[in-house]
Structure 1
Amino acid sequence: MTTAEHPHAGDRVLTDAEIMELREKVKAFMAEHIYPNEPFFHANHPRQSAAGREKMKELQAMTKSLGMWAPHLPAAAGGMGIGFMPYVYMNEILGRSPYAPIAFGSQAPDSGNAEILWQFGSKELQEKYLKPLVAGEIWSCYSMTEPEVSGADPTGLRTTAVRDGDEWVINGHKWFTSQAEGATFAIVMCATELDQPPHRRFTQIVVPTDTPGFEIVRPVPVMGETEGSHCEIRYTNVRVPITNTLGEPGSGFRIAQKRLGPGRIHHCMRWLGQMQRAFELMCEYSLKREVFGSTLSEKQTVQNWIADSYVEIQAARALTLSAAKKIDQGDEARVEISAIKFFGAQVLHNVIDRAIQVHGALGVSGDTPLESMYRNARAARIYDGPDEVHRMVVSRRILQSFKAGNGWDFGLQ
């Protein structure tokens, strides 16, 4: 039994009652420590400000003492050891604030990097990088997307790693390498097996960011913000040991799929938290804001927005939980994951957009979290694969089933 096959082997199984209790603990922590500190972190980002880092360390110490640290990892890797589905339910709450995952030690891309280091990294890599990463002593980045080729078709990636004795020599150009500023290491997707079929050409390699030739060109502004540190990076004759390889050479896409499938579930659950928070703000504001002699809640248009938002959130939640359960049972759930990716992203946008409209000018100001949520919602339709690609995956796989004479039984999905 390998960790690659059973990353959560040995995790305890939580009962429904324990999951509900855990969710209540997370909600209480959010109310007491996360929401009140959001304005502070907005001015002092925990990755780019000494004051922000110090405050975040305080919150991280609290979640560690409460036994709620690193919920994405098994106990053997230093995490909570609660398994996949309880973490799914936690993410619905953590997603309500962009700072909550950092406080709980489960922020992207560190969480995904930790998972693949645990499943595919050597003991040496785990000792050197995984342990301090899980402890919250360092942070990392994931370097895959490139400006010269479409992110929708990663088989076209051009960054190469060539063997030279006991080293890889890496050359290439990446961007949208999130959290690169201040990161200790990057996991880099490189073309290494050029004589193989497209999906067997790529390898993931750990690159310390202090390696000569690793150059952060700039943080790429995203929807007017640079605080997310989505960096453009050049790799010029970057030399790292062959032992920095994750898994086997040529297994980069297989490893990426191990990361991206569950990762999209977690994204969608966090989007649900965002939707629900926007929904609450919309309902609460509509009940108190008066215009033309009555509250907004009494206007039919606003009532329709609330009803539509409720139905869409419930539908997105049901689809996401269904996909999560399939993943938990060992199914790749390709159709279900692609479906929730494009449907969830659209619902996220719709609900936040309506909430902003209800708030009027207040909604586009920095006095509510809605304007920041809206920017992130727009990006959600692009990252982890654009909506159009995920629609294509859904339709192609369903049509393949029909061509094979199997049809599509919704009752079995």
Structure 2
Amino acid sequence: MQTHVATTPFGRRPMTLDQISTQMASRAAPPEAIVHKWKVFQHIREAREAIGASDRSLAILSALLSFHQETTLCADSDLVVFPSNNQLSDRANGMAPATLRRHIAVLVHCGLVIRRDSPNGKRFARKGPTGEIEQAYGFDLAPIVARAEEFRTLAEAVQAEKKALRIVRERLTIARRDVVKLIAAGIEEGVPGDWRAHRARYEDLMGRLPRSASKATIAVILAELSDLRGAVHKALEDFLNSQNSSVNESQAERHKQNSNPDSQHESEQGLRKSEKAEAAAPDNLRALTERDLPLGIVLEACPEIVILAPGSEIRTWRDLLATAQLARAFLGISPSAYQDACAAMGETNAATVIAAILQRAEYISSHGGYLRSLTKRAQDGKFSTWPMVMALLRAKLDAQADGAGGGGGARGSAGSARRIPGETP
């Protein structure tokens, strides 16, 4: 096949310096260069944001590559493919013609392909007397060969950035868990300190954390959260150091029991109270408590509680019940208030309410008082966890939609109501 002569696009499409640069790079590729087309495509897909291509544009590129018969692309071989728009659309899952043309233009603009347009703009190949292709008009895949190393470098950089983001997110998760559990320990053990201020500072930091935060933003929040963790940990250490080292083991055990009465039997007592309440409850209350929410929906609407779970994972309702006890302590809710909630709503519904309160903690001035209010409504048959959780889930989806529209934003809005949405009137 002849070396191609067409360098400018057909019709109204303009010629640009970027296109000339792509053609120059393609001509500069060494003749012996050989690449695996699907490996290069994988690198392009991983680095698509840096390159400027979209998922749908890459669907067109994948289709174009499929029209080249060989798996490898050689710089000194025929790299022009000439499918019609109908053929391209078929291999791109039926993409509409207008969309197809738009994404072809993106591929050209990004320097992934070169247009080799015929005099009339049609794509075809002219064969010689022996049946070999002498001249082809269509899309030249030479940039895939010429820029293969560039694409690999970009993909490695993207992978490194993703790894760094994953690591800083893991560190943030651990720091959040540490702060919450240390504050809960301080409250439960009766350690002197301004735990309300520590909790308010934590909630303020989490309120400033966007849903889709960059690595730089997470790093800033992580630094402040680490300072808070250090302050809380120091408060606990100072308290331990201030204790009389001569206090014997029995006195220490008695102090622990007095600071957290009935902690070993709290869950069992709550269960017994829940059973008694169910037996004495009116029919409408039993109907509410029997309609348990699926665990997956609860965790989707209230992801904050997952941070507190061992391994940051909640798989069963038993896991949620155990984690709710820790969240209760962090929120400053007394064991008696939680036991009353378990009796009125059932253990799973009470744990769900704790998860919801934790999710919106910064908008509730008194967590214990709010739980007692909901418990009273449940006793009167006027409260269900369904509307509460559904409202939280809708708020999360709305915030994600706003972020996708370019607004971004943090977890909550300053204009949000101070009560959990979805409470039944």
TM bin (shorter chain): under 0.3
Instruction: Normalising by structure 2, report the TM-score.
Output: 0.22
Q: Which has the higher contact order (CA 8 A, sep 6+)?
A: 2
Higher strand share: 1
Comparing both structures, which one devotes a greater share of its residues to helix? 2
* Pair member with larger Rg: 2
